[in-house]
Structures are given as C-alpha cells and as structure tokens.
Amino acid sequence: MSRARPAARRVLARLMPEALARMARRVLVRNARRVLARRAPRLFVAFLAPTTAELGSCGEELAARALRRQGWRLLGRRVQTPFGEVDIVAARGGSLVCVEVKAGRLPSLPIRRGADRGAADTSGNLRFRPRDRLDHHRIARQRRAGHYLARHLSRGRLAGGRVDLVEVAFLARGRRVELAHHPDVTAPPTGPGTPLAPHRGP
C-alpha cells in the first residue's frame, strides 16, 4: 500500500498539468468568444457558429447599438431583478423602458408549405419569427421588473412599466441583419414592427 501511494502521486503529478492546461484553454476560448461577440457581433454570427446563448448576446449588442443611435439612454444590460433578468434597461423622455431582445437565424426556421424557399428571408414566408418566443407571462414579468427598477434604479424620477421588444433577425447565415422595434408591447406582437438601421460595422 505504501508503494502504491507514491505511484499514484506520480500519476497525478503528470495528469494535473494537462488537466489545468485544458481548463485554461477552455477559459481562454470562452472569454475570447465573449469579447468577439461583443466587439464584432455580425462577424461572429457569420463565421464562428455561435451557440444559442452567444446568438442572444450578439442580438443584444446590435439592439443596444441601434437604440443608442436612435437617441435612447442605456441604463443597464442584463439587469437582474426579483422578477427576472432584463436584457436592456433604457430611458427616453420620462420613461424607463425594459427592452426585451429576441434574436434568431431566419433561414434555419421552418417554412410554410408551398412557400418559395428562395424567398425564405422575408417575414411572410416564415412560420416562426424571433418575436414569437415572447409570451404574455414574459411581458407581465418585464412590466413588474420595470416598476421595480423605476423605484430602485431611478428613485422614482422615471415612470416604469413599459416593455419594448427589439427583434434581431440574422439572414443569409448572419451576413445580413434586420432589426425591428416593437414599442410598448402589451401582448405578443404579430406585425413586423418599426425597422431599425443596423450598425454598419462588424
């Protein structure tokens, strides 16, 4: 038994550096992908096969850039509240707005029977859009989160309770992006919304 212990220690001494190196590589790759998704979301989606979570992060980054160009003041990103996470907390005028971001790849979604597959990028030919994932329960939670943030974040200076939706659609394998703004949603939207000009950079 006493001889087995030094042998086990030698095996562990050989394996530990390899395991630590693998762990360090995974951490570095994960952090590098996170930085790229924030700095160059369009290129990230087009060339790096993002996961669902990474696709959502890219959509949030593009939505934040578009809202900022429209004159919105961004107060926070991925803000935690007792009622759930808020993707973007923004302010305009005297209102505090909880912005829900829904992102998705449109060409990979199901198409109605008889629809022209060459026109799969248009909203009329798709059975599902990113906005379809927003339901009444999510809207109600976001409204409660907005009232909570208006009391605690703005200390009552801004009126809360408004929920906006920004839909981010990645077309042609991420090489083209369409953004649509649905202001003050009280129910899951069915229309196309107001187009937002996407960022021209990466």
Tens of pLDDT, residue by residue over 37-75, are 888 898 889 888 889 899 999 999 999 999 999 999 999
Tens of pLDDT, residue by residue over 12-45, are 666 667 777 778 778 788 888 888 888 889 888 9
pLDDT of 124 reads 39
Identify whether the C-beta of residue 149 lies closer than 8 Å to the C-beta of residue 91: no
Of 138, 161, 133, the C-alpha closest to 148 is 161
- Number of neighbours of residue 186 by Cβ within 10 angstroms: 11
Q: How far is CA 173 from CA 20, 104, 154, 177, in A?
A: 35, 11, 40, 10
* Token couple for 138: 């999510």
pLDDT of 103 reads 94
pTM to 2 decimal places: 0.78
* Token couple for 125: 């030919």
Of 196, 102, 92, 179, the C-alpha closest to 142 is 102
pLDDT at 127 over 60: no
Domain boundaries, the chain: 58-196
- Domain 58-196 architecture: 3-Layer(aba) Sandwich (3.40)
Tens of pLDDT, residue by residue over 86-102, are 999 999 888 999 999 99
Identify whether the C-beta of residue 85 lies closer than 8 Å to the C-beta of residue 101: no
Average pLDDT value for residue range 119-147: 76
pLDDT at 113 over 60: no
To the nearest whole number, what is the mean pLDDT of the chain? 82
pLDDT of 168 reads 94
The torsion of the CA quartet 59, 38, 154, 188, rounded to 10 degrees, works out to 10
